[in-house]
Copies of this chain bind each other. A is one copy, B any other.
Amino acid sequence: MRLHRPHLSPAGIKQEELRRHNLSLLLRYVHLAGPTQRATLTARTGLNRSTIGALAADLANIAELVREEAPGVRSGAGRPSLVVVPETEHYQALAFDLGVDRIVGARVGLGGTMLSRKVVPLPPGDRNFESVVALTVTAARQLADEFGPRARCVGVGVAVPAVVRGTDGFVRFAPNLGWEQQPLGETLGAALVEALPGCSFDRAAVLVANDADLGALAEHTRGVARGHDDVVYLSGNVGVGAGVICGGRPLRGHGGYAGEAGHMIVNPAGQRCRCGARGCWETEVGIDAVLRAAGHEPGDGTTPRMVVADAQAGDQRARHALYEISRWLAVGVGNLVNLFNPELVIFGGELRELLEAVECDVVNMMGAGGLTMSREHVELVPSALGGDSPLFGAAELAFAPLLDDPLGVAATLPATGG
C-alpha cells in the first residue's frame, strides 16, 4: 500500500486533532491492508514505535476495533512484533447494490471481509421505487438477523445506477430504473431505522451514491486500482457511468454529479438517448447497443458473454457488433484518457465481459490518431472485484465515518445483539 505525505491544507492543525488523525490512519491501514505487524505500521506511517503501540492499545481496549496477536512466524531476531488485526465480526456494515433486475445485499466486516451475500431478483418489469425500497428493507432485515451478539452495525451503504445528490442521497434521475426525483436516501434511511431497531444507527448513517463512483472507490481501496492515484472505472451495463479517482481522491463535482461519461456526446449524427440528447456514448456502447448490433433484442436472455462466444465461433453479426463497439469504445475511452490521463481504465459491470474480446482493437484504434502521451502508460483492465465492485464500495461508504474518527464513532454504537 502506498502512502502519501499529508497535503498542506488551509486550516490549522491543533494538538487534539493529532491523536484522532493518527487513530484514523492506523485503523484505515489495517482495514485496507488486513492484519499488519506493529513494525510494519511504524515503517509505513512514519510514527514511532511507542506511538503505534499506544494507538493500537486504544483501538483495542477502548472500542474493540482491533485486537493484537502474536505473529504466526517470527521474522528476524529480537522480540516478535505484535500483529494488529481488524475486528471483522465486531464492526459490520450493510451494503446494497440496486440493479435494474436485482438487488444484491451483503454484510461486510471491518477489514472488508464479505460475511454474507444475498441476491433478491426484482419481479419482471417492476422497478417501482416503493417496491425496490421494500425489497431492500426485507433483505436488510435478513442480513441483520445474522449479526453476532457482539456485532455493531456501523451503517448502510447503497449503490444505485443514478445521478445522485451527494449531500442526501436524493436520486435526481435514474433513466434505466425509470426513476426521477426520488428521495432514496431519506426514504430508505427512515425505513431501515424503523426496521432495524437493534442497529441503533440514525438516518444519516444510510448513505447512497452512484454505482460507478462506488465501483471506483472499491477498486481503488481493495481492487485492481490499489496504489494507483489516477483511475477511471467504467460501470457498463444498460447505462454507462464513470467513477473517477484523481490524484488519489474521488472526483465528485459541485453537486456530486461528476462522471456522467455515458452522456458524453460523441456522435451528433447518432441515436436519441434516454436522456433526451442525441449521440450520447451510452447509445453506442451500452449493453443494449451491443445486443442489438449482434441481432438480439435486449431482455431476450442473451448476455454480452454469449455475443463474445458467438463471435469466437465465427458468427459474422456478432463479430461486426464487437467491431462497432470497439470503435466507439476507442472514441469514448480515448476522450476520457485525454481528459483524465489515468493509469488504468477499469471495465466494470457487464462491460468487463467484453474487454478481453475487444481490448486489442480498442487499443489499436485509440493509438491510430490523436495525442499519444496520455495513452502511453494507460492500461485497460477488468474490475478485480467482478460484478461486486459497487457493493464493496457501498460498504466502504458506510465504514468511512468510523474510519475518520474511530473512537468518536464507535462510542455511539452499542452492540446489536446487546
Contact = CB atoms under 8 A, between A and B. Distances in A.
A295 B323 CA distance: 40
Contact of A254 (B229, B264, B265): B229
A261 interface: yes
Given A255-B374, A277-B369, A341-B258, A10 B29 contact: yes
Interface stretch (A45-53, A60-68, A120-128, A313-321): A45-53
Nearest to A52: B12
A90 interface: no
A343 interface: yes
A358 interface: no
Contacts of A187: none
B8 A13 contact: no
Interface of A: prevailing SS: loop
Closest CB pairs A-B (n = 6): A253-B341, A277-B370, A12-B47, A277-B369, A276-B369, A260-B338
20 contacts: A4-B10, A11-B25, A11-B45, A12-B25, A13-B18, A14-B46, A230-B253, A246-B246, A246-B252, A247-B249, A247-B252, A252-B341, A255-B374, A257-B374, A259-B339, A261-B339, A265-B335, A275-B370, A277-B370, A335-B335
Given A6-B17, A11-B45, 15 more contacts: A3-B10, A4-B10, A5-B11, A6-B9, A7-B7, A13-B13, A242-B339, A246-B252, A249-B249, A253-B341, A254-B377, A254-B378, A258-B340, A263-B338, A264-B339
Interface of A: 1, 3-14, 17-18, 21-22, 24-25, 28-29, 45-47, 51, 163, 172-173, 229-230, 242, 246-247, 249, 251-261, 263-269, 273, 275-278, 280, 331, 334-336, 338-343, 369-371, 373-374, 376-378, 404
